[in-house]
Chains A and B, each alone.
Chain A
Amino acid sequence: MPDDHRRAAVPDALERAGGLVPGAARAVSAETGVPEAHVWGVGSFFHLLARPDVDARVCTGLSCQLAGADALLDAARGAGVSCEGVSCLAACDRAPAVLRGRRVQPDATAETLGAEVPDWAGTIGPDGADPDRLAIDLAGEPDWSGTAFAKAEAMGADAVIEAIDVSGLQGRGGAGFPAAFKWKSVRGQPDETRYVVLNADEGEPGTFKDREVLLRRPDRVLEGLAIAARAIGARDVYCYLRGEFEIPWKKLADAIDRVGAAGLFPDVTFHMHAGQGAYICGEETALIEALEGKRGMPRLRPPFPTEHGLWGKPTLVHNVETIACVPAVVTRGGPWFKDLGVTGPGTKLYCVSGHVARPGTYEMPLGVSLEELVTAAGGYVGMLKAFSPGGASSGFLPASEKHRPLDFKSLADVGSMLGSAGVVVCNDTVAMPWAVKQQLQFFEVESCGQCAPCRIGTRFLREALDRHVADPRPAALAQVADVSWEMNEGSICGLGQAACLPLTTAMKWFPEEFGQ
């Protein structure tokens, strides 16, 4: 175990050393006892460590691209700023976003690139929602009373898990897996050292709701984590926040201090861990590897984290939003939560960005349609052409699907997914091959590189699309079906399994734009 903890210290030690500058690997190796090549392997995996001397990282996510990120990058380069493109910064509602150091600058322009970045938050809604019908209630005052936790303590673990079960709460991180199932599984493990992990690595392009929860309701997050820890029999909670979340980090750290000082959750200890720039660490087993101080490469499953997670111990991993629903489920009851949704249980934080009037985070009943969501967000900008309902991994749907319920099942039925509910709207000025290219590039650089179908397949598809754009003949895309099939069948994790969807769904719904 002491060895494990020294390894876990590697990413932080590299950050303190100023990133992967010459000699840093050797120094961190001496400090931690981890072989220097392995330190190098870790540092070179995470882009914030690997290239520490970049001053400005311009977001290349689809929403930021729609808002002129490319031009901004050119302008910054022209002005002699040390800059590069970076994957989605979880600020699609304030596009284009730029990362300065570890702080995200919203609404960036070439002129403001040198300016100081004050704390900020995004737009929330919908206006006029009834707080008694909201599980998270982003606009509500933080509640530091610990009422939900006290009630959970009085109910006992079994009753709490039962309430979660009745609520129908599904994971909000992407897969929609029933939460109660995981709680029961961890609680039933023979090993009594167990952990809770908060997944705040929010990186799915188009998604920024977890940021908003951390900024506005850190009380809900900590109380949910404490309830979960007690229910499954864990003492230690590890919060993994993406490295770009400097502002949310501070909010959560302050909240941890506050509940600690008040002695609200006496038997629960919160630990914070900063990501170092790698989308794949949102995948729960990659996140666990990263927490252990290793390269963030997803593990083979089974065994699942519930059985063999952090340091081999049973571990409950939850997304920020899932956890933030827990206090309301406990105080108001499972049936109340279940009843909030239209086609599925609960309310859902929908992130909407791209060509809409008021991009932001909207807490609405699970199963609203794009049309209802965009109405809440002030309407479309221009004429709707296509949308991506749940992050880059969900591919694209055509305007004709705008009345389909945005829930786990309805979207799966049409070959897409709700995923993280990062909805990106494209109007008719957008060429689909261009939009697809933004997504494919994302997967190509964010693949962990471990398994061949994903590492080679993502690049193969992007190169095929480039060939098609350069010379639109069907031959350019001849291998797409086979490669996509193989990526889905043969990849280790969800990244590779879904990475073909932007291309295959666009080819399906917009065949004419792909010469089909």
Chain B
Amino acid sequence: MSSQNPKRVPEEASDPSLSVTLDGETVDARPGETILELAERHGKDIPTLCHDPRLAPAGACRSCLVEVEGSRRLIPSCATPVADGQVVTTANDRIARHQKVLLALYLADQPDFAARGETPGGAQACELHAMADAVGAPTDWPKMEPLRVGREDRNPYVQFFPEACILCARCTRYCAEIESVSAISLAGRGAETTIATADDVSLLDSSCELCGGCIDVCPTGAMTEKMPVTAGRRGHVEPEKVVRTTCNYCGVGCQMDLHVEPAANDGRGRIERVVSPEAGTTTNDGNLCVKGRFAYDFVDHEDRLTTPLIRAEDGSLREASWDEALARTVEGLMGVHERHGADALAFVSSSRCTMEENYLVQKMARAVFGTNNVHQCAAT
């Protein structure tokens, strides 16, 4: 329907040639941008739920509706391009009534646990409820009969609570448009519409790559991380501490934010979840893969080595300092070099090393030891 990537309007559009009246003020608009983008650039706070700047607009959640002169109905700002001479109103009584009633309907359709702020899993769990608070939606409407019920999926990472889902389709569009995987789809019709895989199979039996992007984009916590749920940790937890780091599973260098609970594990701390920094702020643009997002439980696994170990003549291992261990390594390598020549050595580096580290490994092989026997495990 619309262009694949509507958000990527050139930051410095050469000549902002459109003139739009935004809440009574005349502003310059960039050709090709949406009313929402224009409004955001001018500091307007338009609520959105189904909008994601990386995805083609769906216009489905209806939270971003604004008034445009000449249009009888309220129109979705996320999906409507600016036009010269357009007169846009982003806040008035009509829009306020719309937002209140819309959010009241969403709330009436939410399960009790979500209303109590106890949607399992999610730091992302409260976008909907926060918005309802912000627009002053009535909270005393009768609850609707629960219709969509959860089902089992034996995959270890992604948990779906259909009863909390608002069908914004961010997850399905993310899966199709960003991941090019299309493991999940809107399914069914009417009030029974939900998110499903083909034949309702486990994500493990679908084309899903368990990237967890669907979790990341979900505004309700309906699509959420399973590990905290499995561990019995319910409820919306504001992270105590956020640590920005670089994923060390491969050389791409995705940035990630570790949500850390510092007091856990007798003060050693625990990673509660790993999330991507906001889209558009780092090279990975809001994305992570299955390893970066989910493979963090090794960090405090009891089998994890936390100090260097040196093997004695009798085969037993003893703890050592880094200096001692490195000295022992140098001694061993130099010994082989002296006794058997440079080509008796070979170096293999890990794909978990950064590109700089990989560079240094080959430099060491070639320049220090004088051999071309060097390999990187991701090269095959």
Contact = CB atoms under 8 A, between A and B. Distances in A.
Interface of A: 22-23, 25-26, 29, 35-41, 44-47, 50, 278, 295, 299-300, 308, 444-453, 455-460, 463-464, 467, 479, 482-483, 485-486, 489-492
B199 interface: yes
A447 B189 contact: yes
B167 A449 contact: yes
Interface of B: 1, 57-62, 65, 73-74, 76, 79, 94, 97-98, 101-102, 104-106, 108-109, 141-142, 144-145, 147, 166-167, 172, 176, 181-193, 196-199, 206-207
27 contacts: A35-B176, A35-B185, A37-B183, A39-B198, A40-B187, A40-B197, A41-B186, A44-B189, A445-B190, A448-B189, A448-B190, A450-B186, A450-B193, A452-B61, A452-B102, A455-B193, A456-B108, A458-B190, A459-B191, A460-B109, A463-B144, A485-B101, A486-B98, A486-B101, A486-B105, A490-B62, A490-B65
B189 A36 contact: no
B142 A463 contact: yes
Contacts of A35: 176, 181-183, 185, 207
B323 to A, nearest CB: 54
B185 A40 contact: yes
**Candidate in B98, B182, B187 with the most chain A CB atoms within 10 angstroms:** B187
A5 B65 CA distance: 34
A455 B94 CA distance: 21
A371 B103 CA distance: 44
Classify the interface of chain B: helix, strand, loop or mixed: loop
Contact of A453 (B62, B166, B176, B196): B62
B98 A449 contact: no
Contacts of B185: 35, 37-38, 40-41
The 10 closest A-B pairs by CB, nearest first: A449-B193, A41-B185, A35-B182, A36-B198, A40-B198, A486-B101, A25-B198, A37-B185, A44-B187, A456-B105
A40 B199 contact: yes
Contacts of B74: 489-490
A300 B1 contact: yes
A445 B147 CA distance: 13
Contact of A452 (B167, B172, B184): B167
Contacts of B76: 300
A295 B196 CA distance: 14
A346 B59 CA distance: 38
Contacts of B189: 44-47, 278, 445-449
Nearest to A462: B191
Nearest to A484: B101
A449 B192 CA distance: 8
Contact of A45 (B57, B145, B188, B206): B188
B190 A444 contact: yes
A441 B322 CA distance: 72
A310 to B, nearest CB: 12
Contacts of A492: 59-60, 62
Contacts of B62: 451-453, 490-492
B145 A456 contact: no
B186 A295 contact: yes
A39 B186 CA distance: 10
Contacts of B187: 40-41, 44-45
Given A37-B184, A300-B59, A489-B98, A449 B105 contact: no
B105 A452 contact: yes
B102 A29 contact: no
A45 B193 CA distance: 8
Contacts of A463: 142, 144-145
Nearest to B2: A300
Given A452-B61, A463-B144, A490 B102 contact: yes
Contact of B191 (A36, A44, A45, A445): A445
Contacts of A483: 101, 105
Contacts of B61: 451-452
A308 B3 CA distance: 13
A453 B190 contact: no
A482 B140 CA distance: 14
Contacts of A490: 62, 65, 74, 98, 102
A38 B177 CA distance: 13
**Candidate in B61, B102, B104 with the most chain A CB atoms within 10 angstroms:** B102
Nearest to A449: B193
A433 to B, nearest CB: 18
Contacts of A459: 109, 144, 147, 191
Contacts of B144: 456, 459-460, 463
Nearest to A45: B189
B167 A450 contact: yes
Contacts of B182: 35, 37-38
A447 B199 contact: no
Contacts of A39: 198
